[in-house]
Amino acid sequence: MHRFIRNILIISSSIVVLHLILAQFANGSTDNFYSRFTSPKQNSLIIGTSRSAQGIHPEILDSILNLEKVNSIYNYSFSLNNSSYGEKYYNAIQKKINKESKNGIFIVTIDPWSISVDTTLNESEIDIESIFYSMKYYNSSPNYEYLIKKYKKGWGNILLKRIESNILSNNKNTIRKINGSYTYLRKDGLLEVYTRMDSAYASNNIKNKVKSYLKLVSKNKFSEFRFNYLKKTIKLLNDHGKVYLVRVPVHKSLLTIEDAFDPDFNIRIQTLANNMNIEYLDHSIYSDKYSYTDGNHLYIEDAKKFSINLSENIDEIK
C-alpha cells in the first residue's frame, strides 16, 4: 500500500510541478483572450466585441493622439458571445480600469448585436457562457484561475502553441497556407489574425458569415437589459476620461442585415450620445473603403487604415 501511495504521490506531484512550469509559458499565443486577463490595470481602453478586438490598433491611436505612455490605450474587446454589453462585461471593465485614472480615452464600439439578446434566454441565463463568468482575477500573471477555469486544452498545449507561434510568426505566409488562419494576442490587446485573403476564400467566408448572421436575426432582438448596461458602462468610463462611441465598419452584406435587424439603431445610439454628452462616430458608412477576412472583421492591414482614420477623426474633435 505504501509503495502504491508513494508512486501515486510521485506522479501527482510531477504533474503539479509540470503545470506550474507550463503556466509560465502562457502568453498571446495561448488563446484569443488569456493575455487580457494578465495585463495590469489600464487608464485607457478599447471596449467591444471581436470587430474592435481585431479592428483597432492601440499603437496607432497612441501615436496619432499623442497619448503618454501611462495613458496608452489597451484593447479590451473580446467577442460577441463574451463581451456584449451586460453585467459580466461591466464588472470585468471595472476590474481592469485604474481607479486613479481621470484623463483616459475610451473607445466604446457598438453594433446592433452587442445590445441584442437571444430571445430563448431568461435574463438570469444571459452571459452564463461568457468568458467572465465566475472569474475573480483579471490582472495577475500567470493567471492560474483563468487557465484552470477557462483554458480548454491541457496546459502542455500552452507550450506547443508557443513553439508553433515562434516558428510560424516568422513565416506568416506559410501559416496562411498550411493552417488556414493564425491568431496572436498582442501585449496591447490587439488580436492579430493572419488568414488567407484570396478572393474565393474570402468570399466563401463572407457567405458563411452572412448565413450565421441571418440565423442571429431570427433568434435575437434588441435588449433593454444590454442597452442599460451600455449606458452604465459609458457612465463608468466617463468618470475616468473621455468616451467615444464608435461603429466599426463591416462588409456591406452584413451592414444590410444589421440595418434590417435594427433599423432604429443609429438614431438610438445618437440619442444616447447626445444624452450622455459624448461623440458618436459612425464609421460603418465607410465600409466600402476596407477589405474584410469574413465580412465581420477587418483584414489586419485594413484595420491599420481604419485605426488611422479613427484616430484622425478623434483628433479632430478632441
Binding residues for another protein (CB under 8 A): 1, 3-4, 7-8, 11, 14-15, 18-19, 22, 151-157, 159-160, 164, 178-181
Helix (H, G, I), strand (E, B) or coil at 191: strand
Give the nearest distance from C-beta 152 to another protein in angstroms. 5
**Given the complex with another protein, which of 37 and 85 has the nearer CB atom?**
37
- The answer to whether residues 134 and 149 touch, using CB atoms and an 8 Å cutoff, is yes
DSSP 28-72: TTT-SSGGGGTS--BSEEEESSHHHHHH--HHHHHHHTT--GGG-
DSSP 197-223: --HHHHHHHHHHHHHHHHHHHHHEEE-
**Given the complex with another protein, which of 159 and 308 has the nearer CB atom?**
159
Give the nearest distance from C-beta 116 to another protein in angstroms. 24
**Given the complex with another protein, which of 99 and 211 has the nearer CB atom?**
211
**Given the complex with another protein, which of 3 and 99 has the nearer CB atom?**
3
Provide the grid cell at 176: 496562411
Provide the grid cell at 304: 491599420
Q: Look-up: residue for cell 437571444?
A: 118
Provide the grid cell at 307: 485605426
**Given the complex with another protein, which of 167 and 285 has the nearer CB atom?**
167
Among candidates 69, 126, 75, 70, which has minimal Cα distance to 96?
75
Give the nearest distance from C-beta 270 to another protein in angstroms. 39
Q: How wide is the angle at C-alpha 126 spanned by C-alphas 125 and 129, nearest 5°?
A: 85
**Given the complex with another protein, which of 158 and 300 has the nearer CB atom?**
158
Give the nearest distance from C-beta 67 to another protein in angstroms. 35
Q: Checking phi first, is residue 250 left (phi over 0); if not, alpha (psi -120 to 50) or beta?
A: beta
Give the nearest distance from C-beta 124 to another protein in angstroms. 19
Give the nearest distance from C-beta 194 to another protein in angstroms. 12
CA-CA-CA-CA torsion sign (92, 98, 101, 105):
negative
Give the nearest distance from C-beta 182 to another protein in angstroms. 9
**Given the complex with another protein, which of 154 and 263 has the nearer CB atom?**
154
